[in-house]
Chain A
Amino acid sequence: MRFLLTLLAVTLPGAALAQSQVALTSDVLVERTTTDASGTARTSLEAPGIVTPGDKLVFVLSYRNNAAAPATDFVVTNPIPESVGYMGSDSAGAVLSVDGGRTWGQLAALSVRNADGTSRPATLADVTHVRWRMAQPIPAGGRGELRFRGVVK
């Protein structure tokens, strides 16, 4: 019985803290380019209605510090979904991983090991994770948005 109570004590704090801290949402938009009668191409971002392979996606990550104190060492990590190809970040400061999150850096500094032991420079297609590490604390009540692009494989 004592053992069970200990287990509960471990799991409860997560729920207890739920009302405060940071609010986070992930949204995805589909970028559509339409050409009007005059031949002018217009690009718009739409909610993901009909989505098929090859469609361009914009992932929008929104955060808000609901705590009374500033949040420091604020790190946003987003694994790239399996069926999405990473196409770049619209938000500055993105660092990438091509090895499942073990090592991080700018794409040009990353490499991928080939089956034969040699390595090659990493490409966008190799990106497995994108991460932002905020240099400045997020003040109480502060909010922000991060965006990265992908394509449906």
Chain B
Amino acid sequence: MNMMTRFGVAASIFAVAVGTATPASAAGTTAGSTITNNVTVNFQVGGVSQNSVSASNSFTVDRKVNFTVAEDGTATTQVSPGQLAAVTSFIVTNTSNAPLDFALAATNRSGGTAEHGGTDNFDVSNLKLYQDTNNNGTYDSGTDTLITFLDQVAADASVRVFVLADVPLGRSTGDVAGVRLTGTASEATAAGSLGATVTQTAGANTAGVDTVFADTNAGGNTARDGIHFDEDDYTIFAANLTATKTSRVISDPLNGTTNPKLIPGAVVEYCISVSNASGSATAANVAISDNLPAQTTYDSSFGVKVNGTVTSGTCNADGAIAGSHASGVVSGTIPSVVAGDVRTVLFRVTIN
């Protein structure tokens, strides 16, 4: 659009820019803004100042759709087998010059090298998305909202999204599950509902606001498709427990404690030792239960000692009485077995 106008001499030559252009931000001039250029000539003819002459032209700023989905943080999420609602976090940033909705989808990676190294070798389940409603960077159950899309993300705004997933049982330390969060640019037509997927303006430029995709191909993405994703991963850090059961004769009715033999009436001490391999996660609340042989009787005067130690492969006579016996089953719970440590459950029986 070109216009030529003439102002009286009195008109200010410093004409203020006319138009609806809005202040620029990092995302740039808002889509739909009109940029109008005004130019003025002042001159004299025959030594006499003439009326100034002005001209202007305008064009409309089109919509540049650009955004990123990026992992929030730089490390894997360490999880235990069977852990529920394990959290990974992502940040969706709208660098378009217009507000947008974003459709979101969380998916499992299938094989290959995961985001933080290691081979993706299992899937998590029950993937859910939550918006970091209070924007504190931490998933807050009951506060952060369950979502399937981001609603009305302003130009230049960022939203943190948590992916929550359940980890299956039976996985070992170092197993990796990759997850991907994919965002699709959608129209911010109405608050509270996901708008239609944004499409690029096909063919020639129109007088109105056209749409151009500007998203990049970073991290394996396809450039200029209105879709962007990033990945994060869960890495298993499990305890690696081994249980060993040993027994020794304490006394018999004839020899006492001197070279006792396994004859009826002899007292036998059982030691169940639980070792946790070095480099493993600490095992907590390790519950031990043992069915007594039918030919034996539980020695209630000794009780069940829990959390004892082992020296050079031999169970020490330590630990605290904390276990129980009922109906021929001895039970004890070891509070904690750290990596590389061994802890025991000790109890005694009498041979019938």
- Write the residues of chain A forming the contact surface with B, with a CB cutoff of 8 angstroms: 11, 13-15, 17-18, 21-28, 48-54, 59, 61, 63, 67, 69-84, 100-101, 129, 138, 152-153
Contacts and interface: CB of A to CB of B under 8 A. Distances in A.
B45 A70 contact: yes
B23 A82 contact: yes
Given A48-B59, A49-B210, A78-B39, 19 more contacts: A13-B8, A14-B7, A15-B6, A21-B53, A26-B37, A27-B2, A51-B35, A52-B28, A52-B214, A53-B97, A63-B41, A70-B45, A73-B49, A78-B37, A81-B21, A83-B61, A84-B37, A138-B43, A152-B35
A25 B55 contact: yes
B14 A79 contact: yes
A54 to B, nearest CB: 6
A153 B15 CA distance: 21
B132 interface: no
B60 interface: yes
Contacts of B212: 50, 52
A109 B222 CA distance: 47
Contact of A52 (B16, B50, B97): B97
Interface in B3-61: 4, 6-8, 13-17, 19, 21-24, 27-29, 31, 33, 35-47, 49-51, 53-57, 59-61
B157 to A, nearest CB: 16
Interface in B36-89: 36-47, 49-51, 53-57, 59-64
Given A72-B43, A73-B44, A129-B14, A28 B37 contact: yes
Given A27-B2, A82-B23, A51 B47 contact: no
Contacts, number: 158
A76 B47 contact: no
B169 interface: no
B15 A79 contact: yes
B192 to A, nearest CB: 28
A21 B260 CA distance: 129
Contact of A14 (B8, B23, B204): B8
B226 to A, nearest CB: 14
Given A24-B55, A26-B55, A28-B57, A71 B45 contact: yes
B201 interface: yes
B126 interface: no
